[in-house]
Amino acid sequence: MSEQQTGETAEKVIIIGAGPCGLAAALELQAIGIEPLLIEKRTVVHSIYQYPTYMQFFSTSELLEIGGIPFTTPLDKPTRREALQYYRDVALRRKLRIQAYETAVSILRRENGLFAVETHDQFGASRIYTAHSVVVATGYFDHPNLLGIPGEEMSKVSHFFTEAHPYTGMKVAIIGGNNSAVDAAMELLRVGAELTVVYRGEDYSSSIKPWVLPLFKSMVDKGRISMLFGCRTVHIGERTITVQPIAEGIEPIVIDNDFVLALTGFRPERTLLTDTGAEVDASSTIPTFNPETMETNVPGLYIAGVIAAGREANEIFIESGRHHGKLIAGHIRERLLS
């Protein structure tokens, strides 16, 4: 890593985000002789670290592999703990250059074509790097889809579910009806929580894991989970929540409550892109990019992973986003040879 006279650090490629897709892009760049710098505001694969402690992936380990490095597990589908170890080992063994706990706050394209990336470390110190190309591979777990209702700011409300133990014997409302909500409900049952699931849909979500859905339905049918379809939460109080059926003419329902898990999904943050001049569709929120190269309308600025998705962040998963790096590396290689 060479220092310029200005005190700036010159790089060929900077990758912002050290999640699975950022790591995959780094490995593909390594394969063409480039050692990129990864800037990560927390730790390696922080998004997976945020998953529930005992979560098991929907995908097989083979579909989570990056850089052609085998991901072995004795199970049909790997656990969160196994994934953390796999990606951590990949980063360490390939000696990826990761600046952890450093946040990219701006990207500026200068007149000479280089990008200036400003960062702040965990103590607030500022630093500027320059690079010929930048890959934005930021995730979305820091930006939950807010309900926008009174009481959402209360300490009893969380947009994350880590593990069930703190909710033992408590009255818990889960807002949402997709995999995260269903997985949380099944874990909470095991610790004796009194559960209410509030879901806007009129029936069970088609995205629920097929091996989990029958078990979840059984718990609902037996009355162990109160499932409120076609409803939305409109108010969160200290000891209650208020649920409004979407159908007209039905009175709101007030439910005793100790804790709320608002598992309504997350959205990618695109400010780094738009502030750099990258175009983002106002309706779909999908950035403008070439799907064959992952380059945005700003030459030399690329995207990888979930940030390429629209409002529905789950349109892109690790198994698809991990391939973005190969497209990016191929295009950068062509530019270097031209």
CATH class, 2-142+266-337 region? alpha beta
The residue among 188 and 76 whose pLDDT is bigger is 188
Contacts of 134 (CB under 8 A, 6+ apart): 13, 14, 15, 16, 107, 115, 117, 300, 301, 302
- Residues of the chain within CATH 3.50.50.60 domain(s) are 2-142+266-337, 157-262
- What is the per-residue pLDDT for 150? 96
Residue 316 scores a pLDDT above 60: no
Of 156, 150, 199, 158, the residue nearest 176 (C-alpha): 199
pLDDT tens digits, 191-200: 999 999 999 9
Contacts of 85 (CB under 8 A, 6+ apart): none
Of 43, 31, 97, 40, the residue nearest 69 (C-alpha): 31
Of 294, 310, 291, the residue nearest 302 (C-alpha): 294
CATH 3.50.50.60: does it fit domain 157-262? yes
Residue 19 scores a pLDDT above 90: yes
- What is the per-residue pLDDT for 282? 82
Residue 301 scores a pLDDT above 80: yes
Distance CA 79, CA 334 (A): 38
Residue 2 scores a pLDDT above 60: no
The secondary element (H helix, E strand) that includes residue 331 is: helix 324-337
Local confidence band at 113 (pLDDT 50, 70, 90 cut-offs) = confident
Local confidence band at 52 (pLDDT 50, 70, 90 cut-offs) = confident
Q: Are strands 240-245 and 253-256 parallel, antiparallel or unpaired?
A: antiparallel
Residue 42 scores a pLDDT above 80: yes
Span 132-149, mean pLDDT?
Answer: 86
pLDDT tens digits, 208-253: 888 889 999 999 999 999 999 999 999 999 999 999 999 988 999 9
Contact yes or no for 143/268 (Cβ under 8 A): yes
Distance CA 313, CA 162 (A): 20
